[in-house]
Amino acid sequence: MTFKTLDDADFSGKRALVRVDFNVPMHEGEVSDDTRLQAAAPTIQKLRQGGAKVVLLAHFDRPKGKVTPSMSLEPIVPALAKVIGAPVAFAADCVGEVATAAVDALRPGDVLLLENVRFHGGEEANDPAFAKALAANGDLYVNDAFSAAHRAHASTEGLAHLLPAYAGEQMRLELSALDKALGKPERPVLGIVGGSKVSTKLELLSHLVTKLDKLAIGGGMANTFLHAQGHDVGASYCEKDMAETARDIIRLAGQHNCKLFLPLDIVVAEKMAPGAPARVRTLGAVDEHERILDAGPETVERLCRAMDNSKTLIWNGPLGVFEMPPFDKGTVTAARHAASLVKAGKLVAVAGGGDTVAALNAAGCADDLTFVSTAGGAFLEWMEGKTLPGVAALSQ
């Protein structure tokens, strides 16, 4: 897919409507994690330096088309101003006279944040009239919110058909990294998929086994695969009704020559609690009161060897209950090994999904992978092979 970037645009003196993702964590009225603000900064600065009037569009939470003061974007203004090192104006609406007056007051290089687009029902409905009202305040459109690109909303898809449309810097980074991972990757390609439920990642697993050379399955969903193969999983979380589906995925992997890695050994405990006594078990040796809470050392060692013999890694989901030591060991060991291979220039490693990002941060190596996507739903849908409306709308 080809798309225009800011390198293709002359935006001096132009009003640039920029869709960003400012759905950030808040604590007591202040931004508690500015990662997404930092991610938007390169696009904002490039536009400012080029003399554009920067008009930011974003959503916060789910107000469902109603003005909800607790979901206003205004508290984000001080944190954003700090990140970009410049004043940020705010308008109490994203369309209409209030928005137009605020946009008209801008000079080249100024930045304005408009109020939550989801305060209007036309946003999520992708209503043409609402998209037109948004477009009235812009000369060009920049989408820098890959994390919202799986939604066909007015500010993520509709606007791209009304104004000259470009991918922002973060969007370009994201799409480039994803293309390296699954579009045109260096082979062999290894995937790691963890998490608790096969049922929520069925489309993902079914798609990946047709694209990858190797796929390692971890987390709670590995228990379902072990159960499907006849292994006793004790008191572990397990979707026993998905056993036949798990066997179908195993068969599909075989048909597409995708080598499937399931646990060889596991770490168990009688209760899921920090510091709970943990034991390593071989498959089938789990007591009825024990729960599988992490991948065992032999499993992790084999996974690290698989990384050594791969050129590309794509990772979604932890191998165990990483939030709770000692059940974080498998995920941390694997993550640090991947990071060491990336730093040595031997592996392209792309990771994404909420739990994945948290796990990599816990391992202290999120910054060492080739690319870590903060786009949860969009990253997953892309991995499932789906067309993302917000990306498709940018294509030439």
Q: Is 335 helix (H, G, I), strand (E, B) or coil?
A: helix
Which residues does 152 contact at the CB level (< 8 Å), separation at least 6? Answer: 126, 158, 389, 390
Strands 26-27 and 30-31: antiparallel
Rounded to whole angstroms, the Cα distance separating 340 from 347 reads: 9
- The H or E element that residue 299 is part of is helix 297-308
Which residues does 204 contact at the CB level (< 8 Å), separation at least 6? Answer: 193, 316, 380, 383, 384
Widest distance between CA atoms in the chain = 71
Amino acid symbol at 120: H
Inter-residue contact 216 to 193 (CB < 8 Å)? yes
Q: How far apart are the first and last CA of the chain?
A: 8
- Please state, in angstroms and as integers, the Cα–Cα distance from residue 105 to each residue in 54, 90, 112, following that order: 12, 11, 10
Rounded to whole angstroms, the Cα distance separating 176 from 375 reads: 14
Inter-residue contact 390 to 149 (CB < 8 Å)? yes
Which residues does 255 contact at the CB level (< 8 Å), separation at least 6? Answer: none
Nearest by Cα to 143 from 395, 390, 392, 396? 390
Rounded to whole angstroms, the Cα distance separating 153 from 117 reads: 10
Rounded to whole angstroms, the Cα distance separating 325 from 309 reads: 29
CB atoms within 10 A of CB 336: 16
Amino acid symbol at 81: A
Rounded to whole angstroms, the Cα distance separating 359 from 255 reads: 32
Q: Which residues are catalytic?
A: 36, 197, 354, 377
